[in-house]
Chain A
Amino acid sequence: MTSPSPSSRKSLSKIACNRLQKELVEWELNPPAGFKHKVTDNLQRWVIEVNGAPGTLYAGETYQLQVDFPEHYPMEAPQVIFIPPAPLHPHIYSNGHICLDILYDSWSPAMTVSSICISILSMLSSSPAKQRPADNDRYVKNCRNGRSPKETRWWFHDDKV
């Protein structure tokens, strides 16, 4: 399926561990609506269940997000992908990679897993059509060697969806 990205293969630093434990506690106290964290003993890889918001194209559908944290989280963004099958969306590639600026260039340590989840759900909710990005096949072919989406140079050209 998806191999761990080079950046997350190294184990978490003490600082990253501490911060993630606190994020997890906060998540359990106050989980974002529509999401469920699947409990594992792996702090470095979270698997999160996403339920499409009612009244949107994805209502009633369930997907899984895989969140991998780099050694120096939160200095670096986590790697977030959908575990295939990924939802049909103009910004989501069939291999699960997501074109969303906050996962790459616009990341900041003021964000959290929870705030990422909310952004992803709102991206899904505002989708006008269930379709793949125009360059899906080319992109997915280029990623065959297990490349992380964080190594892609993304173009954030569309701020409407």
Chain B
Amino acid sequence: MGADTEPGKEDRCQELAKSSSFHHRIYSEVEEIGWENLVKLGDDLTFLSFRVMDKNGRVHILELTLEKTYPNCPPSVAADVPYIFNLVWSMDSKLKDVVLQFQRHLEKLQEFWLTLDDIDKTLWIAVPKHLHSSLSCRLINIGDDCCIMLSLNAKDPRELPECRFLGSDAKVHHLRKKWRINGKRCMLPIDRIKDETFTDNLAKILDMPLPKPPNKQKNDNQIECGVCYAQYLPIDDELGANSGSGTDYTCENSNCSRAFHSVCLGDWLCSITTTRQSFDILFGNCPYCSNPVAVRIAGGK
């Protein structure tokens, strides 16, 4: 009996020792990346997600799933990117190496996202309403009840994209013809030298001006104040003219674009010592992205 339980106990001890060294390893590897970048941590530490910022200030979430045998086998990686990178993994690799490889991958994707930013800002996007960094498709309203479905090549966003036309037969036929004839000439690598944007090229190929996004799209975006979390300030005599007003200030960093009530942002800036004031304008930083912001002091009617 005793001889039976002893090895069992030893196994259990070994198992515990193994799991404790696993935990230690993960904690010290998270430390290397920085706890402030950790978004989620699974209870048994086999799931981690990190916030990684690319050089244009876009924030990405990198999700890692670990086997209990980590680091003997590489973590599996998921992220909001159109295609994932091939993880290079050796016995000396650490989670930090995954983050570094992910950052290099993000570098490669910058042109792709810049192209999509151009499309999203200049054209009338029908679908998707909520843009996600991994999507390379856009359904674009080009007026006259016609839409085009563009799929960009994430590896080479300047390549002629795949395009499908939706609308009445006559119009679609006309557009297809234009696409066939002009498509080869535009979007050639030579256009990269000239400072032409993707959307300029697209308008040239289709040989028509493309409609701009309608203004109402602005209201679809986030409109709640990043300080008080409400769209409208409460009705309150203390707030004077601002009582009940909606958000009226947006962070100018296009990757942040947080909305604020200038009263709320101003109150916050007034309460910290790093804010500078010139006449009735406060100069400080966005609480979300630290981009410089400037707001007029509340009550300066």
**Chain A residues in contact with chain B, CB under 8 A?**
14-15, 18-19, 22-23, 33-34, 53-56, 72, 74-76, 108-110, 118-119, 122, 125-126
**19 pairs, CB–CB < 8 Å, chain A vs chain B:** A15-B228, A15-B234, A18-B228, A18-B230, A19-B227, A19-B228, A22-B229, A23-B229, A33-B41, A34-B43, A56-B23, A56-B27, A72-B267, A75-B267, A76-B271, A109-B226, A109-B264, A118-B38, A119-B35
Find out whether the CB atom of B271 lies under 8 angstroms from the CB atom of A122: no
| Secondary structure call for the A interface | loop
Find out whether the CB atom of A122 lies under 8 angstroms from the CB atom of B43: no
Find chain B residues with CB under 8 A from A53 CB: 41
Find out whether the CB atom of B234 lies under 8 angstroms from the CB atom of A54: no
Find chain A residues with CB under 8 A from B41 CB: 33, 53
Give B62 Cβ to nearest chain A Cβ, in Å: 17
Interface size class of B (residues with CB under 8 A): 20 to 34
Find out whether the CB atom of A55 lies under 8 angstroms from the CB atom of B27: yes
Find out whether the CB atom of B23 lies under 8 angstroms from the CB atom of A54: yes
Find out whether the CB atom of B229 lies under 8 angstroms from the CB atom of A19: yes
Knowing A15-B228, A18-B229, A76-B271, the reply to whether A54 touches B44 (Cβ < 8 A) is yes
B19 in the interface (beta carbon within 8 A): yes
Find out whether the CB atom of B44 lies under 8 angstroms from the CB atom of A14: no
Find chain A residues with CB under 8 A from B44 CB: 54
Find out whether the CB atom of B268 lies under 8 angstroms from the CB atom of A75: yes
Find out whether the CB atom of B234 lies under 8 angstroms from the CB atom of A110: no
B61 in the interface (beta carbon within 8 A): no
The 3 closest A-B pairs by CB, nearest first: A55-B23, A110-B287, A14-B234
Find out whether the CB atom of A122 lies under 8 angstroms from the CB atom of B35: yes
Find out whether the CB atom of A109 lies under 8 angstroms from the CB atom of B268: yes
Find out whether the CB atom of A108 lies under 8 angstroms from the CB atom of B287: yes
